[in-house]
Structure 1
Amino acid sequence: MKFTIKSVWLKRLMQASLTGLLLLGLFWFSVYAGLWGKLPTKDDLKDIKQAEASVLLDAESELLGKYFIFDRQIVQYEDLPKHLVDALVATEDSRFYEHGGVDYTSLLRVFFKSILMQDNSSGGGSTISQQLVKNIYGRERHGWFSMPVNKVKEMIIAKRFESIYSKQDIIALYLNTVPFSENVFGIESASQRFFSKKTSELNLSESATLIGTLKAPHGYNPRLFPERSQLRRDVVLQQMEKYEYLDEALKKETNEIPLETKYQKFNYTEGVAPYFREKIRLEVKTLLDSLNTSNDTSYDLYEDGLKIHTTLDINMQRYAENAMQQHMKKLQKQFENAYGKNAPWLKNNALIENQIKKLALYKTLKKQKLSDKAIMDSLNVISKFTGFSWEENEVFEGSILDSLKHTLKFLNTGFVALEPQTGAIKAYVGGIDFEHFKYDHVSVAKRQVGSTFKPIVYTTALENGIEPCTYYSVKEVTYTNQKNWTPTNGGKEETDRHLNYSLEKALSESVNTIAVKVLEDVGINAVIAQARKMGITSDLPEVPSLALGTAELSMLELIGAYTSFANEGKVSKPFYITKIEDKFGKVIYESETVEALPEAFSKDTQQMMVEMMKSTINSGTALRMRSQYGLKNDLAGKTGTTQNNKDGWFLGISPKLVMLSWVGNDDHRIGFSNTGIGQGANSALPIVALFLKQMNGDQKFNTITKAKFETPSEDILNALACETEKRDGFLKRLFKKDQKEREFDATSEENKEKKKKGLFGFLKKKDKQEKNN
């Protein structure tokens, strides 16, 4: 009887086992057949497309930033350090080189613990190949069957992977797709994020740290939890020793190394060159739209892993940002202290009311037909807000109105440096802080350029035969046909009406009265024509005040014109993208090679202007470049300050680099309270000076910082060999009519021809004769 009972139970057990195996086989087949979702074929696996971050590179292929939906960069197996691969295998799949995609020992553990015992915390026991499948295709929900369905899917696809790809390929695919801490995908992005280096440069400790985070990306985040991350790193090192990837001595040596990260986050508002990155983003999107339309392609900036090569130099960029921050922090204090309690952002009711009406909340409440009093009550509700501060972003307590006034008080700036021979932009600072002030002051903003326009006037004069040693009186004149407009100067020039300056002295001292007189002699139309030759396309007012810089130009437009002074009279158009490659290295866009543009003016004029603008640095309005900052570089330049101290400018010219800085308030109605603070020599010049000082200390830039201007010809030097100023003699002062009022002559050519008969005119005729011969 006992035997019969045993036989029955054995029979039932066998039947149950066979039924279980049959059901398991049917289940496996149902997954294989795609009843739980279609599986990728081998052909699909051969053509894996993953969203990949596009990278922005400087002129030396250093990483400037990234554009992405998922922060992922692809790296080849050859660039993976051996200790990184060893750490991965030792920690995640010790039998990786022995199985064909599925480790059946681990599979049994998963079956009994995860399926039968419903222990989801027991660990999946998945191979690297199976994890790769999960990284690429994710997991779907199927209720109670989610775990077994997903596991079977991963096993089937993993075996297909192993039949197509080598073990090395699978390692590379895995490390390029696996998620690390902070939603970073792929080892290259993680390496750049936490250690600011390429994957190929990781040391053993760093490799073990990153591999250690895979177990729990947030919990082992090396930035947030360094101690916990270091302990996990040591576990990885222990596993590497266990599986004989390193010896005990090296493990102990590495254990003793403290974990140090060098964090570098690439996002929209942070990191190096944010204004430049945004400029490139907009430019590349336009380029790709054009390429896709004309070539029937579908390149996507955020998913296709493009490599965007630019002209920027990351070291110059850092120097520029450091210089800007160092100076603007100091200048902001001067600016606020000079106004004190009478600051316009506190006392100018008309200005404040105008800004209030621009607020989105004001417009919303106005549409709701609330009274002005009710709106103001809403704007005066006290709360906390995060505002920009030069110390750090602070949390303030105040109303929306307080927040508006806080933002309104800040000075802003722009800085750009480029190579005059090519127009390649090397540094680009669009403002003081991209997170809070996104308006780009380099390429978008247009401001009055002040005295930085004067070199264009003087260039026109030289081109039209006016000698550099022509003397002009500094005395003020009221132009009766220009609404009694009286250009004025500062300092001694106002009282000494018998003083006369040469063109060099007038330019270096930025004398307004003489600039207008020179403009009158050559003619407004001639000056505008010269500006057009120098690449300026913006509207230029046909008025005498053009000589004083009432034209509104962008910084890129102005600096482009100034390239001619360091490029033998030829203009170089500013540019910033050299080429764009797809993820496979194919060039899909390359900047056009710009043919040599026609001369904007002669080389003689160029050398003359450089010598005259050297005086601005050596003895004129930009003297502090030498006296305060101790710069010994070969430099020419021009300062600029607009009416009521609204804008401060400085243009620095060296043989191989042209630099431009601007400082002002975004609201045109707010200027500096006095010229001492607001003049370009104080507000804008220091950014260029501090930038150059850093470059001078970097031997990498010796070819730029130690470059010398070409020595002018003997004829040019002779043409400049005169006293820069002289006073009228006694008899001239006695008998000369002191004309304080007259009409501005905008049409007569007679006055213009008088200035063309001197030595410089002779030189031009002589040059013309030599060319004809």
Structure 2
Amino acid sequence: MKTLKEIQLQLKESKKLILLLKSITGFILFGLLSVVLLFSLVYFEVFGKLPNKEELTSVINEEASLIYSSDEVIIGKIFAKNRTNIKLAQIPNHLKEALIATEDKRFYSHNGYDGQSYARVFFRSLLLRDASGGGGSTLTQQLIKNLYGRQYHGFLSMPINKIKELIIASRIEKVYSKDEILLLYLNSVPFGENVFGVESAANRFFNKSVKELKIEESAVLVGMLKANTYYNPRLHPENAKKRRNTVLQLMNNEAYVSNDVTDSLQKLPIALSYHNLDINATARYFTYQVKKKAEELIKTINETSKSDYNLETDGLKIHTTLNYDIQKIAEKAAKEQLINKQKQLDKELASNRLKNRWLQKQQFTEKDKQKRTIQLFDWDSTKTITGNKIDSLWYYDKMLNASVLVTNPKNGAVISWIGGNNFNTLPFDMVLSHRQIASAFKPFLYATALENGISPCDYFENEEKTYPKYDNWKPQNADYSSTPDKKVALWYALIQSMNIPSVNLYFKLKKEWLIDTCEKLLFPEITDDAPSIALGTLDLSLFEATRAYGTFANNGEMNDLYMISKVTDKKGNIIYESEAQKLERVFTEESTKTLTSILQEAVEQGTGASIRNRYKIKSPLASKTGTAQNYTNAWFMAYTPNIVLGTWVGTSKNDIHFNSGNGSGSSLALPIVANILKEIENNPELKKKYLTSFKISEEISSSIDCPPYREKGIKGFFNRLFGKKKEEN
């Protein structure tokens, strides 16, 4: 028998238990009422509007606009979010299975939210503090988060956002089928690196379309969804492999893959093929210009057609004129030439005092002199050095840069565009930079002469002379030679790029004639009458020079250059298509063909002869070199009837340069064009399309069939009357 004291104690404990149970019940009821109240407040949109059925029906993911080369290679994207949407038929089954097994294995049985998952989260994650309990969000709820994001509501942010996702998820399940929801999810899910959607991720990490993914590759991408950066296969390959194997095991648990397949796939390394258009893309300078042009086009289209296209979100397709094969050839040619010539320039700079003179011109603070770790552009990788700001500036100031522009003179299409060495590090576009054009200007002077009745066989003085009117200016030929006893034929003066005869030709012309030519060619305004213009003191961009040389290739008519051939919407409907331009007649066809005949001789026996002798280019070609004073700018321009190739090489500033013939146009710029031409010649399709023959009559060709020199005085007169028909060089 229990004593009275024991009974009293038992009653006291029972009261405590009852009180505790009442408290727990009250707490649970309060919690339930709070949840119901919070749910009601969210449902009735106190914490923000929820999308209705109609709005959910029109859900369309933002999609990046794609930039294509003329041969249908994707060379760039324009986006707010880097996303490329795909269709359901493009998704391989193993990708869907990997996603469902890993993220939501009851996806096809729930109605947007999973009660079992919520129970698991409540008891394991919240009550038992077990982090392995996982999250409670279904794929549908994750889709809602991807589409609408989450808002801040103070300490109630998490429950409010979770309730919103639950409500919207149940609504969206009534609007879309399960497969449609899966598609929306895969098109919107983030993979880090500003990449959204599985198609963009497949292209980024494996350089292929999603439909080409292997099982183990799908497992890598699905594994990344848990933590984009930690499981990034480029940044953390070991983490990514472990996570991939976990996904494969989860697929095995759901009987999507057999034990043998799972074991064999888990042993494989991750075969990454990283492809980031932002980092190592071909034609970055070009795609940047295309983006600017496309923005202008879309603005005009929207204004004229009352449409509302968005370049960053509407998945437009921008088809350009760039030839991907020639772009790759040009980039390789420029890179190899600059690596080789940089070594020569560094050697020259090491043996003179130019760096000391450069240092004296700079103004540095003590902070600039402090040593630190610096990353510098290098051709094969990022170069890391221990140095200061002075070292970095010197490195870039003495760096040789190249720009290359290749166009089709028939229509003005840009075939290749290289604006510099590396867009990320050196974004300033050298194609548009104005530099002294040097002797590459002379063909425009000589064409003006031909237009105004001067013959290729007219002769000009080649004797040095001082011009007091122009500050005692005394022009000299590049090799310092002169022929006081002989005059030189116009055609020969041009192919040898002689300065003295060119100046004499300038004085024979009316200045207005040359100004008119330059205006028609859309050159910068000529503001003075200095005769040095004849030698190329005008500053031109490679864009302007190449466009102008297209006039020679196109029988005297000039096309403006363009890059975009057409723009389509995501369904393929054409919303813009380029039209044939109205050509500008600059020179007569006869003058142009005569000049081309002369510039063809420049390839055979003039300043461009190494094209034949050294590089063994066999195709018909007309060309002209350009070397600015003190070797500050090197140019080479070449063309056929169907292609114009222009290149400029130099440093970013004119105060650092070669002090020898290594910096001439024929040595520094010509090899880039030569190596491009060599690769085009080796490609039958490209050769047939671009390296076509000139159609020049025998009458015009024979118009330059006269001796290069003619002796002055009585002796010259009798030689012409009775003597040689062709004098030797």
C-alpha distance in structure 2 between counterparts of 1:687 and 1:382, whole Å: 37
In structure 2, the partner of 1:712 is 696
Name the amino acid aligned to 1:514: P
Give the CA deviation at 1:452: 1.0
C-alpha distance in structure 1 between counterparts of 2:118 and 2:683, whole Å: 59
1:206 is paired with a residue whose SS is helix
Matches within 5 A, 1:263-282: 263-267=274-278, 271-282=281-292
1:662 is paired with a residue whose SS is strand
In structure 2, the partner of 1:155 is 166
2:113 is paired with a residue whose SS is coil
Shift in alpha-carbon separation, 1:250–1:154, aligned structure 2, 3 A: same
C-alpha distance in structure 2 between counterparts of 1:376 and 1:129, whole Å: 58
Give the CA deviation at 1:681: 0.5
In structure 1, the partner of 2:655 is 669
Name the amino acid aligned to 1:272: T
1:563-621 Cα shifts (integer Å, max 9, x gaps): 12222221111111234445555555444x24341432233333322222122222211
C-alpha distance in structure 2 between counterparts of 1:31 and 1:115, whole Å: 23
Matches within 5 A, 1:228-627: 228-246=239-257, 251=262, 254-255=265-266, 257-267=268-278, 271-288=281-298, 300-348=310-358, 352-353=361-362, 356=363, 376-390=365-379, 392-443=381-432, 445-491=433-479, 493-494=481-482, 496-539=483-526, 541-583=528-570, 585=572, 587-591=574-578, 593-627=579-613
In structure 1, the partner of 2:56 is 45
Shift in alpha-carbon separation, 1:34–1:730, aligned structure 2, 3 A: closer
Name the amino acid aligned to 2:115: Y
In structure 1, the partner of 2:643 is 657
C-alpha distance in structure 1 between counterparts of 2:260 and 2:407, whole Å: 52
Q: Point out the more displaced range, 68-77 or 186-195.
A: 68-77
Give the CA deviation at 1:418: 1.0
1:709-739 Cα shifts (integer Å, max 9, x gaps): 233223223323x244244288426999xxx
C-alpha distance in structure 2 between counterparts of 1:16 and 1:486, whole Å: 102
C-alpha distance in structure 2 between counterparts of 1:465 and 1:193, whole Å: 61
1:456 is paired with a residue whose SS is helix
Determine which of 679, 682, 687 is the counterpart of 2:672.
687
1:350-403 Cα shifts (integer Å, max 9, x gaps): 6x24xx3xxxxxxxxxxxxxxxxxx74444344443334456433333443343
Give the CA deviation at 1:420: 1.2
C-alpha distance in structure 1 between counterparts of 2:164 and 2:357, whole Å: 70
- Output the aligned Cα RMSD: 3.5
In structure 2, the partner of 1:765 is none
Name the amino acid aligned to 1:413: A
Shift in alpha-carbon separation, 1:490–1:152, aligned structure 2, 3 A: closer
Q: Tell me, yes or no, if structure 1 residue 63 matches structure 2 residue 74.
A: yes
C-alpha distance in structure 1 between counterparts of 2:259 and 2:620, whole Å: 59
Shift in alpha-carbon separation, 1:46–1:308, aligned structure 2, 3 A: same
Name the amino acid aligned to 1:544: P
Give the CA deviation at 1:647: 1.1
1:182 is paired with a residue whose SS is coil
Name the amino acid aligned to 2:414: I
Q: Is the Cα contact below 8 Å between 1:87 and 1:207 reproduced in 2?
A: yes
1:179 is paired with a residue whose SS is coil
1:520-549 Cα shifts (integer Å, max 9, x gaps): 334332223233334435436433222211
Q: Is the Cα contact below 8 Å between 1:647 and 1:663 reproduced in 2?
A: yes
C-alpha distance in structure 1 between counterparts of 2:422 and 2:267, whole Å: 40
C-alpha distance in structure 2 between counterparts of 1:488 and 1:248, whole Å: 83
1:638-685 Cα shifts (integer Å, max 9, x gaps): 1011222221100021332211111223223344212x1121011111
Name the amino acid aligned to 1:434: F
Give the CA deviation at 1:483: 4.0
In structure 2, the partner of 1:127 is 138
Q: Is the Cα contact below 8 Å between 1:655 and 1:704 reproduced in 2?
A: no
Q: Is the Cα contact below 8 Å between 2:547 and 2:558 reproduced in 1?
A: yes
Q: Is the Cα contact below 8 Å between 2:349 and 2:355 reproduced in 1?
A: no
2:637 is paired with a residue whose SS is strand
Shift in alpha-carbon separation, 1:253–1:600, aligned structure 2, 3 A: farther
In structure 2, the partner of 1:96 is 107
Q: Tell me, yes or no, if structure 1 residue 702 matches structure 2 residue 712.
A: no
Give the TM-score, by structure 1 length: 0.82
Q: Is the Cα contact below 8 Å between 2:710 and 2:716 reproduced in 1?
A: no
Q: Is the Cα contact below 8 Å between 1:345 and 1:408 reproduced in 2?
A: no
Name the amino acid aligned to 1:76: K
Q: What is the number of equivalent residue pairs in this alignment?
A: 706
C-alpha distance in structure 2 between counterparts of 1:88 and 1:714, whole Å: 73
Q: Is the Cα contact below 8 Å between 2:620 and 2:694 reproduced in 1?
A: no
Give the TM-score, by structure 2 length: 0.87
In structure 2, the partner of 1:757 is none
C-alpha distance in structure 1 between counterparts of 2:90 and 2:598, whole Å: 54
Give the CA deviation at 1:184: 2.1
Q: Point out the more displaced range, 153-162 or 279-288.
A: 279-288
1:421-479 Cα shifts (integer Å, max 9, x gaps): 11111211112233443322112x21121111111122222222333333434333444
Name the amino acid aligned to 2:206: F
In structure 1, the partner of 2:4 is none
C-alpha distance in structure 1 between counterparts of 2:236 and 2:155, whole Å: 35
Name the amino acid aligned to 2:517: Q
Q: Is the Cα contact below 8 Å between 1:421 and 1:572 reproduced in 2?
A: yes
Matches within 5 A, 1:629-644: 629-644=615-630
C-alpha distance in structure 2 between counterparts of 1:113 and 1:334, whole Å: 69
1:492-515 Cα shifts (integer Å, max 9, x gaps): 842x43344433322221111222
Determine which of 725, 731, 734 is the counterpart of 2:708.
725
Q: Is the Cα contact below 8 Å between 1:540 and 1:551 reproduced in 2?
A: no
1:177-221 Cα shifts (integer Å, max 9, x gaps): 111143422112212221223333333332222122212222221
In structure 2, the partner of 1:628 is 614
C-alpha distance in structure 1 between counterparts of 2:217 and 2:155, whole Å: 40
- Structure 1 residues without counterparts, runs of 5 or longer: 357-374, 737-773
Q: Is the Cα contact below 8 Å between 1:307 and 1:581 reproduced in 2?
A: yes
Give the CA deviation at 1:133: 1.2
1:180 is paired with a residue whose SS is coil
Name the amino acid aligned to 1:719: S
C-alpha distance in structure 2 between counterparts of 1:524 and 1:144, whole Å: 79
Give the CA deviation at 1:24: 5.1
In structure 1, the partner of 2:631 is 645
Give the CA deviation at 1:228: 3.3
Shift in alpha-carbon separation, 1:125–1:58, aligned structure 2, 3 A: same
